[in-house]
């Protein structure tokens, strides 16, 4: 009995002790979490916090799968010098110094690295800088080095992962592709589709080191690779290259401050190419998206809307007569309108007036039809509204400017007796190049106006695809009969009118020239003009519509002389490329046409290019004796120019074939991995990066 009592007493004692301890623990938990919760949370936040970690940003592709924008992953490497134990540090410091000095940081000797590491450990440096811009392959190599191979806790390895956005095709459609900028608004497709490209965000636990430095508690790579959606654009790289090149040449030839070129697929509204070039000290650069964001008075390209309105309202027909007064200044109310020259023509048809771009003729017809009453002026404005010229197109990119088209009722205070005739030939109203092209594309498309768009699909990481289909903005802006008449007039511009200089032996072009004086209100200033041409091709079955504008060109300024030839060159090269793509591989273009087409920019071995040019009888000018060269098209010949390759630095091998690129890179001491076929479009190491025996990945397309 006594033994039993003793055992029970012991058991009760143990239970009582556990009960007291539990009560104490519960009390402390209550005090820490509830009563003193804010205090301890504030103290904890000083040393540990959660930070949002963005997913890898998605890529932007062209319509053929070529990369237009991608993120290359890099690491900044630091080292907590207090983390390694003495035996680990002392046994590995010299070896680590050797590996650093012979691989990623050849700028310092083994001795210098050893001194740096030892000095930092002595000072207790918990965030010693090792290197920045470390590639994934280099990072993996670093993790095998002595001391660092022990990891974060035992070896002190600290890595900060970051992505660097790059555009493999550099300036091609750069403003339309856009920018992904920290602490600033994103622009272009990068901005419009940011929520898809940026993807889901994770939270990573970070700890505080000295000097308010925060580092991840866990290796970011252990969280798993999450990334944003990919965007497939409507841009075609080949067509974009042609448009960019031809606009660039014209920009420099006429020393124009800026220029715009947009090509749209007629049936769908897909934008296949868009260039916004500024002349920056003699170098064409994409600076602002003038095509979408900048409106201006269109000049004579608006005459298509004027004649189509006259046809629709039965106010005039192709053979309606109008007096051009020889091209001499003709009075409208208290002001005068003149043609570009005193051509001596008297009474002509509306078709002829349109063909020779007579300001007097088109203004007279519009003035007679619409400027005699308020009802007429309202009818005039409603036509422009019906054509879609009073509204934005709704293109995905932010920043589209609102057209300015006065209303005779709402804007009565600024509506003058001259407003209708002035608007009829392109003044007292303003719109963007894309808005004007959308109207022209509607005429080319039989009267159906398509919404211009730049993205055809979004590809999610899970394989889910969201497609964007063509969208009709206006089913019919004019009757089929009047659309055909408008097309007839545009063809006549090229056959007999102001654009006979771009009549082609290979394709039929239809369009309208435009020459806009930008400072017409300042009679004492030297006249400044914008030159434009808007139209479509091939005229018999339109596939593409296009607008070209060069702002304030020097030397020549007429749309026919400055902008129209750019249109012709792009149209011919586009159709030649399409024609060749549709033929069997062993067939070539017609000999005569082939002689008109010269290759695109390439890079490689000089002897190879000379042999090819000699064999195909392509004229060229050799400007260097260097073994490695660029070849650039210039007008009717190829220029062979020196390609700079500096020993010890990663060269730019974009544009080279795989054989040449691998040869150059390996001879400079780089390990090379090749992905794809064709020409190099992207490199994992940026040109100019110091060579330290690292590995480079080149992507071909």
pLDDT digits (tens, 9 = 90+) for 16-49: 877 788 778 877 777 766 666 666 555 555 566 6
Q: Do residues 640 and 606 make contact, with C-beta atoms less than 8 angstroms apart?
A: yes
Rg (CA), the chain: 34
**CA end-to-end span of the chain, whole Å?**
93
Write out the two tokens for 122: 């002595």
How confident is the model at residue 346, as a pLDDT? 96
For the chain, what percent of residues have pLDDT higher than 70? Answer: 86
Residue 51 has pLDDT above 70, yes or no: no
Residue with tokens 């990919």: 230
Residue 63 has pLDDT above 50, yes or no: yes
Residue of 127, 181, 115 whose CA lies nearest to 157: 127
Q: Do residues 633 and 600 make contact, with C-beta atoms less than 8 angstroms apart?
A: yes
Which of 46-50, 411-415, 683-687 comes out lowest in average pLDDT?
46-50
Could you tell me which residues come within 8 angstroms of residue 521 by beta carbon, excluding any fewer than 6 positions away?
Answer: none
**pLDDT, average across residues 56-83:** 86
Q: Report residue 195's pLDDT band, with 50, 70 and 90 as the boundaries.
A: confident
Give residue-wise pLDDT tens across range 251-284. Answer: 999 999 999 999 999 999 999 999 999 999 989 9
Q: Is 696 helix (H, G, I), strand (E, B) or coil?
A: strand
Residue 157 has pLDDT above 80, yes or no: yes
**pLDDT, average across residues 179-184:** 68
CA 559 vs CA 166, 394, 514: distances in Å: 36, 28, 5
How confident is the model at residue 584, as a pLDDT? 44
Buried b (16+ CB within 10 A) or exposed e, 377-395: bebbbebbebbbbbbbbeb
Rounded distance between C-alpha atoms, residue 143 and residue 54, angstroms: 23
How confident is the model at residue 594, as a pLDDT? 40
Rounded distance between C-alpha atoms, residue 487 and residue 315, angstroms: 18
Q: Report residue 589's pLDDT band, with 50, 70 and 90 as the boundaries.
A: very low
The rounded mean pLDDT for the chain is 86
Which of 45-54, 351-360, 552-561 comes out lowest in average pLDDT?
45-54
Rounded distance between C-alpha atoms, residue 322 and residue 340, angstroms: 17
How confident is the model at residue 216, as a pLDDT? 61
How confident is the model at residue 453, as a pLDDT? 97
How confident is the model at residue 537, as a pLDDT? 97
Write out the two tokens for 454: 């730049």
| Selected residue with higher pLDDT from 583 and 28 | 28
Q: Report residue 224's pLDDT band, with 50, 70 and 90 as the boundaries.
A: very low
Which of 214-223, 430-439, 536-545 comes out lowest in average pLDDT?
214-223
């Amino acid at each position: 009995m006594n033994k039993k009592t003793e055992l029970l007493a012991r058991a009760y004692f143990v239970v009582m002790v556990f009960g007291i301890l539990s009560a104490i623990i519960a009390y402390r938990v209550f005090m820490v979490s509830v009563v003193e919760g804010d205090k301890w949370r504030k103290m904890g936040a000083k040393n540990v916090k959660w930070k949002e970690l963005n997913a890898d940003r998605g890529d932007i592709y062209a319509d053929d799968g070529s990369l237009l924008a991608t993120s290359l992953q890099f690491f900044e490497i630091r080292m907590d010098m207090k983390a390694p134990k003495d035996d680990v540090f002392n046994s590995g410091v010299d070896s680590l110094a050797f590996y650093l000095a012979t691989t990623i940081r050849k700028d310092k000797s083994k001795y210098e690295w050893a001194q740096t590491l030892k000095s930092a450990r002595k000072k207790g440096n918990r965030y010693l800088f090792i290197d920045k811009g470390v590639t994934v392959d280099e990072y993996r190599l670093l993790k095998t080095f002595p001391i660092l191979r022990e990891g974060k806790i035992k070896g002190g390895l600290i890595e900060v992962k970051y992505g660097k956005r790059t555009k493999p095709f550099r300036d091609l459609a750069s403003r339309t592709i856009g920018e992904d900028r920290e602490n600033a608004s994103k622009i272009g497709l990068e901005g419009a589709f940011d929520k898809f490209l940026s993807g889901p965000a994770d939270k990573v636990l970070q700890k505080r080191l000295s000097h308010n430095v925060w580092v991840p508690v866990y290796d970011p790579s252990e969280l798993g690779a999450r990334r944003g959606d990919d965007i497939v654009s409507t841009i075609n790289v080949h067509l974009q290259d042609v448009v960019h090149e031809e606009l660039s040449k014209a920009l420099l030839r006429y020393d124009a401050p800026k220029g715009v070129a947009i090509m749209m697929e007629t049936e769908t509204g897909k934008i296949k190419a868009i260039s916004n070039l500024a002349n920056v000290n003699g170098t064409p650069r994409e600076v602002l998206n003038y095509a979408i964001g900048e409106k201006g008075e269109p000049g004579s390209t608006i005459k298509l809307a004027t004649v189509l309105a006259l046809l629709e309202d039965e106010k005039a027909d192709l053979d309606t007569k109008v007096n051009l007064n020889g091209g001499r200044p003709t009075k409208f109310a208290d002001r005068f309108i003149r043609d570009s020259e005193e051509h001596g023509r008297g009474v002509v048809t509306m078709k002829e007036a349109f063909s020779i771009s007579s300001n007097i003729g088109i203004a007279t017809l519009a003035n007679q039809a619409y400027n005699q009453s308020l009802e007429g002026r309202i009818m005039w404005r409603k036509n422009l509204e019906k054509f879609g010229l009073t509204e934005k197109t709704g293109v995905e990119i932010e920043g589209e400017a609102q057209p300015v088209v006065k209303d005779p009722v709402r804007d009565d205070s600024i509506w003058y007796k001259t407003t209708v005739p002035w608007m009829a030939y392109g003044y007292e109203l303003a719109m963007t190049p894309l808005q004007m092209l959308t109207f022209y594309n509607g005429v080319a498309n039989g009267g159906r106006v398509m919404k211009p768009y730049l993205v055809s699909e979004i590809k999610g990481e899970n394989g889910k695809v969201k497609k964007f289909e063509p969208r009709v903005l206006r089913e019919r802006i004019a009757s089929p009969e009047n659309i055909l008449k408008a097309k007839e007039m545009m063809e006549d511009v090229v056959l007999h009118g102001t654009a006979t200089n771009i009549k082609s032996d290979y394709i039929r072009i239809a369009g309208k020239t435009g020459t806009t004086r930008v400072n017409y209100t300042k009679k004492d200033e030297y006249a400044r003009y914008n030159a434009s041409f808007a139209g479509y091709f091939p005229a018999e079955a339109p596939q593409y519509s296009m607008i070209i504008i060069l702002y304030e060109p020097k030397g020549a300024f007429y749309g026919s002389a400055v902008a129209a030839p750019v249109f012709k060159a792009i149209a011919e090269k586009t159709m030649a490329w399409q024609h060749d793509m549709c033929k069997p591989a062993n067939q070539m273009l017609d000999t005569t046409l082939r002689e008109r087409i010269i290759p695109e920019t390439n890079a490689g071995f000089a002897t190879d290019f000379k042999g090819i040019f000699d064999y195909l009888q392509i004229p060229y000018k050799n400007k260097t004796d260097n073994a490695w060269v660029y070849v650039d098209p210039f007008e009717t010949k190829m220029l062979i120019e020196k390609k700079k390759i500096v020993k010890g630095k990663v060269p730019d091998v974009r544009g080279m074939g795989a054989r040449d690129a691998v040869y150059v890179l390996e001879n400079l001491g780089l390990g090379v991995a090749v992905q794809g076929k064709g020409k190099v479009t992207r490199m994992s190491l940026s040109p100019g990066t110091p060579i330290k025996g690292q590995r480079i990945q080149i992507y071909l397309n």
